[in-house]
Amino acid sequence: MRLSGSTALITGGGKRLGRATALALASEGASVVVHYQKSEEAAEQCADAARRLGVKAWTIRADLADAEACEGLLDGACEQAGPIDILVNNASIFPRNTLLDMTLRDVAENVQVNAMAPFLLSRSLAAQRRGGAIVNILDTRVVHYDRVHAAYHLSKRMLLTLTRMMALEFAPLVRVNAVAPGLILPPPGEDESYLQKMAGSVPLQRIGSEEEITAAIIFLLRSEFITGQVIFVDGGFHMKGSVYGL
């Protein structure tokens, strides 16, 4: 797949991995639509940075916790930018809770933002009937258990299953893959020392970088005979069988 001349929608594109992804795609010649909910200034700054790389860029607001807003997000992006070729489902929420204290509302909110929003957006892209590629952002712990983010963990496991289901249902026009990051960025409220303390738990004995995540995303977008796959960019952490939080 040629990235130059294509148009990508990146959810949560104003900050962190979303911003890195938007600018990596812009560096490859793709125009970008930067989605945000609250971080309008960051999204506009990301779009400006993309334009300086020589591509077109737009911003669009939508609350992914609102199913109706999700249903209309891709259409809104198309109104600004034309048909969308690439969708990167990056946005997520990451609340702290366990099976002992999470509520049904916690589960519903996490499932809506972290699983159903990517599904609704992906289905809208497939409905264009013109081909395209989707990359979902998972989490290295999706194959194990993150007990202190239980509702989040459930929702990401759901997105893993949806990735495989959509890869079959949307073929042959649309490819659907995923990237599962490991220790890349500290969670909200933590700093770099949080990552450094955990680096020893990684087989490769180091933390990763945003560039390593975006390289995996671009690889999947370019690889036209790959669908339904997950690339773990985690230094081998997913093979350890650990339970985070015990």
Q: According to the model, what pLDDT value does residue 190 have? A: 86
Q: Which of 36, 145, 152, 244 is catalytic?
A: 152
Domain boundaries 7-232, corresponding CATH code: 3.40.50.720
Q: According to the model, what pLDDT value does residue 194 have? A: 87
Domain borders along the chain are 7-232
pLDDT in tens, 62-102: 999 999 999 999 999 999 999 999 999 999 999 999 999 99
Secondary structure letter of residue 202 according to DSSP = S
**Could you tell me the pTM of the whole model?**
0.96
Q: Provide the CA 198 distance to its chain's centre, in angstroms.
A: 23
pLDDT in tens, 95-112: 999 999 999 999 999 999
Residue 36 appears among annotated catalytic residues? no
Specify whether the CB–CB gap between 139 and 129 falls below 8 A: no
pLDDT in tens, 124-136: 999 999 999 999 9
Q: State both tokens at 120.
A: 């609704």
Q: According to the model, what pLDDT value does residue 245 have? A: 66
Q: Where are the alpha helices (DSSP H) in 174-237?
A: 192-198, 210-222
Q: According to the model, what pLDDT value does residue 1 have? A: 79
Specify whether the CB–CB gap between 119 and 160 falls below 8 A: no
Average pLDDT, the chain: 96
Q: According to the model, what pLDDT value does residue 214 have? A: 98
Q: According to the model, what pLDDT value does residue 158 have? A: 98
Specify whether the CB–CB gap between 100 and 147 falls below 8 A: no
Phi then psi dihedrals of residue 218, to 5 deg: -65, -40
Kind of pairing between the strands at 57-61 and 31-36: parallel
Classify the phi-psi angles of 181: left when phi > 0, otherwise alpha if psi is within -120 to 50, otherwise beta. Answer: beta
**How far apart, in whole angstroms, are the C-alpha atoms of residue 83 and residue 128?**
8
Going from the first residue of the chain to its last (246 residues), give the mean pLDDT of each consecutive group of 10, the final group possibly shorter: 95 98 98 97 98 98 97 97 98 97 98 98 97 97 94 98 98 98 90 90 95 98 98 94 67
Q: According to the model, what pLDDT value does residue 242 have? A: 67
Q: State both tokens at 164.
A: 């495989």
Q: According to the model, what pLDDT value does residue 188 have? A: 79
CA geometry: angle 208, 213, 216, nearest 5 deg: 130
Q: According to the model, what pLDDT value does residue 56 have? A: 98
| DSSP string across 28-90 | TT-EEEEEESS-HHHHHHHHHHHHHTTS-EEEEE--TT-HHHHHHHHHHHHHHHSS--EEEE-
**How far apart, in whole angstroms, are the C-alpha atoms of residue 61 and residue 59?**
7
Q: State both tokens at 241.
A: 């069988």
Q: Provide the CA 38 distance to its chain's centre, in angstroms.
A: 17
Specify whether the CB–CB gap between 228 and 177 falls below 8 A: yes
